[in-house]
Amino acid sequence: MRTNNCIKSAFFSVFLFLGLITGNTLLAQSNETAIMPEFTVDLSKTIGSFKPLNGVNGGPRVRLGNAFDNSEYFKTFGPPHVRLHDTRYSDEETVDIHTIFPNFDADENDPKNYHFEKTDLYIKSILDLGAKVIFRLGESIEHGEPKFYIHPPKDFKKWARICSRIVEHYNMGWADGFHWDIQYWEIWNEPDIAECWSGTQEQYLQLYEITAKTLKKLDTNLKIGGPTLAYNMDSALGEAFLKHCKKTNSPLDFVSYHIYSKSTDDFMKRIEISNATIRKHGFKDAEISLSEWNYVPSWSGKSRAETRDGMAQTMAAPGSAFTVAVLSYMQDTELDMAQYYSAFGTIFRFGLFDATGVPKKAIHALEAYHKMVQLGTRVSTSGNKKETGVSIIASTKLSDGKTAVLLSNFGDDAARYKLQIKNAIFKNELKCSEYLLDDNHNLDIDREQILSSKDFNLMVDLPKSSVRLLLFESL
């Protein structure tokens, strides 16, 4: 009897020990789930369509060095707008005023003094994609010394008339031209930095006023904009520009500025500051365009090799995650359009393609976002962390039984997240296909699974510098 009691006691102790282990394991799992960061998608709450924020600088045509056409790649990320700036980095002698009208002393009313042919071909390659053109009137950036073309024109009124003739060529058929109805015309680029403008602040304001009024007189339906600042609109030139346009009643249909940053939090705060400045000065109806933007960890390093390697991150996995995060956040701002810098296919360090025409990793970030736009209707989400670059957006096409969720982690330490899909109305099971963009994947299929529930919960691996696109399809 005593022996049996001892055996029973031993079994009970082992059972209790195992129970404690199991209980602690479940508790640990429960606690891990409890503290795991969460994303949610509510399919019952639609927000509307996506804003056309995935525009780019530079078209698909390349003639500098190697010659190739990137049109097929452009179709994968579907830019709604292509801004014509710095095009000489991919197709020489295009767009810049000095390339179209090389002799400033010539008669601006004589078609023979204009060289439109190369720019015609460049623009046609963009329009053939179904994208709209934003024509930057001015000159490309000049990094070296001496500067040749970024100086204030000798005669502002004549320069404005030359711009007017360019508009007539592309919209009104002048000089064997076209009727392409290019709406957006941006006056100069980054007049707040020495690489783009050698004149004074007052000279730029005068140039803008004269040109904007000349173009509006030609066609009131044109959309004229500026000042395309390298820095915020609350800067000295930004404030002066807005005041000047208001005081002189200068046309200002859209306001444009640029942001390059290494922080998603800084990036979004600068958008908020610039947009608030624009509205503060009374431009309630003006469109707002972020006409250049990208991730830049550092403009320069201790050596050329360090600078090269740092800039390479812009087009690699970190820059890709940054791009998706910022595109997601910008949906909830006052921005009307944005143009990523850049889609060039040359040796230029910001290009989406290398010098041989091979796409860089960042092109897949734009591709992932385009898939969201194609699906159509945006739905409510939660889980953004702008401080560290964690983002979520979702879209759905209920008539086809499809939903897409795009996630990004630019710099957060958390590597695993809980994703909850609420209020799914699909009657059947869902197939979930996951695509991964990171150091080793280019938006490749990573996992497929079948889900069956009204509210779906799944764990998602999303470490730093990664993007994950989840496509749900009703079976």
pLDDT at 35: 78
pLDDT at 7: 36
In 3D space, the residue among 82, 111, 116, 85 whose CA is nearest the CA of residue 99 turns out to be: 116
Q: What is the pLDDT of residues 443-461, one digit of tens each?
A: 999 999 988 776 678 999 9
Report whether 260 contacts 338 (CB < 8 A): no
In 3D space, the residue among 205, 224, 213, 335 whose CA is nearest the CA of residue 272 turns out to be: 335
Residue 132 buriedness (CB in 10 A; 0-12 / 13-18 / 19+)? buried
Question: Would the pLDDT of 19 be above 50?
Answer: no
7 vs 254, which has greater pLDDT?
Answer: 254
Length of the chain: 475
pLDDT at 8: 40
Q: What is the pLDDT of residues 253-278, one digit of tens each?
A: 999 999 999 999 999 999 999 999 99
Overall average pLDDT of the 302-306 stretch? 89
Q: What is the pLDDT of residues 87-145, one digit of tens each?
A: 998 898 999 999 999 999 999 999 999 999 999 999 999 999 999 999 999 999 999 89
Enclosing H/E stretch for 300: none
Eight-state DSSP code of residue 334: S
- pTM, two decimals, is 0.91
Question: Would the pLDDT of 13 be above 80?
Answer: no
pLDDT at 210: 99
In 3D space, the residue among 417, 425, 401, 430 whose CA is nearest the CA of residue 463 turns out to be: 417
Question: Would the pLDDT of 34 be above 70?
Answer: no
Cα 55 to Cα 60, 69, 244, 290, 329: the distances in Å are 13, 18, 29, 10, 16
Report whether 28 contacts 312 (CB < 8 A): no
pLDDT category at 347 given cuts 50, 70, 90 is low
pLDDT at 182: 98
pLDDT at 1: 41
pLDDT category at 427 given cuts 50, 70, 90 is low
Helix, strand, or coil here: 384?
coil
Helix, strand, coil content of the chain in percent (nearest 5): 35, 25, 40
Report whether 337 contacts 53 (CB < 8 A): yes
Question: Would the pLDDT of 348 be above 70?
Answer: no
In 3D space, the residue among 348, 382, 292 whose CA is nearest the CA of residue 55 turns out to be: 292
* Integer Cα distance of 312 and 307 in angstroms: 8
Q: Is 175 left (phi over 0), alpha (psi -120 to 50) or beta?
A: left
pLDDT at 92: 87
pLDDT at 3: 41
pLDDT at 377: 95
Overall average pLDDT of the 142-170 stretch? 97
Using the Cα atoms of residue 405, residue 410, residue 412 and residue 416 in order, give the sign of their dihedral: positive
